[in-house]
Chains A and B, each alone.
Chain A
Amino acid sequence: MFGRRDRAGRFDALARLYADDLYRFAVWLCRDPSLADDLVQETYVRAWKALDSLKDPDKAKSWLITILRREYARTFERKVPPLVDIDEVIGLEHDEVTPEQQLDRARFRERIMQLDAKYKEPLVLQVLMGMSIGEIAEALDLTESAVMTRVFRARAQLKARAPKE
């Protein structure tokens, strides 16, 4: 993907490819769209400074996730102010769904938010960002078997908490 492109070109390509995905992940992480926007921009500021350390372009997404999570931890190492509920964030979406579907989605999100972060993060990376088990393992600094266990348990908990039909 990058080959002989210059540094700025590589960076711009990373921004175009992954900024939206990173933003979505950041929203699930901090539940505040403006904060997520800041986090992503700060992630790219750091990425720009450290771009030469990214040797393998195929690992760019995991690399950016790692930077974003570190930045999030650094910024909110002591406490995360619960600024905005995730449903209010999603509520900004102008999606044509029925009220019943909206309610179902809201309930599903509630169950996702109840997941422990160690289960929620790999699940979001897999489903929302389409990352493979290997990529998630790299981004979260876990073994692949640990990631597999966590995404399995995340789904199992979501299913267990689903209303019975």
Chain B
Amino acid sequence: MDPKTLEQHLMTDPDRDNPDVAEAVASSQDCARVVEDSRRFEDELGQALKIPERPGLADKIIASRTADPVGPGRAWLLATAAAVCLGVGLVTFQLLPESNPDDRDMDAVWSHLAAHWAHDGVSVLAASETVRGGSDNVRALLDYLGISVDTGLADRFALGKICPTPDGRGAHLILDTEEGPITLIVMPRTQGPAAPASQTLSDGQEAWLVSLGHGSVAVIAHPNQGAHDIARQIRQQISIDDALRL
């Protein structure tokens, strides 16, 4: 193999253990130089592409699977069980006094928020300490989601990302406050409670859920960070566009 052909080969497949490559190296100094240049380039490329790993990611994935042990192969079992439960539920529902539909809806929202927080709440908060998204980027994200925010508030967002909500996409935001960064989860299509409501999450964080008229926002913070006051303030500063673009 001549040096030019060897160089082209290594740019497609940089495997230097290939017998043809080894043979070419042994046959000429020019080929040996080509292989050395390739090695240096691939080392630099490999270093540049390196990404720090996400500790515990596999464990998290496996834990999620454990929470859903029934695979689609047994879907008929699940369907049968669901049908039986539905039947029992319907009978029970008719026998019991009517409960508040708002409470039932909010239970689902709280469950979602708790799972969301457990999924990446702490890691996103931690990331905001080192990775700054930039308020312009957060504004672009909010604009994309049809979320309007007062300028003063928008300038205080340290990080933002799209996140799932019970009813489509929403925004997971980190807001800088004097008491430290706190988490906001804006849910453009999810109706909030009639009056601000709170729950304590499993790790002791305080979560406040407030309605935005159209959509809702959750404020999650340490109990000392005044989540209630922040929730009360920001509900005046965030609104959801009527014509949602998603």
Contacts and interface: CB of A to CB of B under 8 A. Distances in A.
Chains A and B form a bound pair: yes
Contact of A32 (B12, B54, B65, B161): B161
B204 interface: no
A82 B144 CA distance: 12
A38 B161 CA distance: 10
A35 interface: yes
B152 interface: no
B13 A133 contact: yes
B58 A82 contact: no
Given A49-B71, A81-B144, A35 B131 contact: no
Contact of B48 (A76, A91, A112): A112
Contacts of A89: 51, 131
B12 to A, nearest CB: 5
B49 A112 contact: yes
Contacts of B41: 155, 158-159
B121 to A, nearest CB: 10
Contact of B60 (A35, A41, A82): A41
Interface stretch (B89-97, B122-130, B221-229): B122-130
Contacts of B12: 133, 148, 151-152
Nearest to B8: A152
Interface residues of B, number: 48
Nearest to A86: B51
B73 A7 contact: yes
A1 interface: no
B65 A12 contact: yes
A78 B246 CA distance: 9
A12 B131 CA distance: 31
Interface of B: 8, 11-13, 41-42, 44-54, 57-58, 60-62, 64-65, 68-69, 71-73, 119-120, 123-124, 127, 130-133, 137, 140-141, 144, 159-163, 172
22 contacts: A8-B71, A15-B61, A19-B58, A19-B61, A27-B51, A28-B49, A34-B124, A34-B172, A37-B120, A40-B57, A40-B61, A44-B64, A50-B72, A75-B162, A90-B50, A105-B44, A105-B48, A112-B49, A127-B49, A128-B50, A133-B12, A159-B41
